[in-house]
């Protein structure tokens, strides 16, 4: 892969918006994610940072229901990081 292709891939995954809902509980993480996804362009990524364990099940369900792409969901040191790409 050429350097320009790598740069394109990195740029495609760079979040256009970050949603920090640490300390917030359902339904706030989903509400704020929905607002952020509506505010970005199709194909752009939203990064969600949360602490509510419900995000592990709620975010994949929301993505399936809305048709947006769940790129990644992982937890590190108590912080849940979710990347969602706007699909439409």
Active site residues: 26
How does DSSP assign 39-66, residue by residue? HSPTT-EEEEEE--TTHHHHHHHHHHHH
User: Contact at 8 Å (CB) between 17 and 47?
Assistant: yes
Cα 17 to Cα 83: distance, rounded to the nearest angstrom: 10
User: Do residues 63 and 84 lie in contact, with contact meaning Cβ atoms separated by under 8 Å?
Assistant: yes
Supply the DSSP symbol for 71: E
């Amino acid at each position: 892969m050429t350097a320009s292709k790598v740069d394109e891939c990195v740029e495609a995954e760079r979040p256009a918006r970050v949603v920090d809902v640490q300390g917030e509980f359902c339904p706030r993480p989903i509400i704020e994610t929905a607002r952020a996804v509506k505010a970005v362009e199709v194909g752009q990524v939203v990064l969600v940072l949360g602490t509510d364990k419900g995000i592990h099940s709620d975010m994949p369900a929301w993505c399936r229901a809305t048709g947006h792409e769940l790129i990644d969901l992982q937890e590190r040191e108590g912080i849940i990081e979710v990347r969602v790409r706007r699909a439409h």
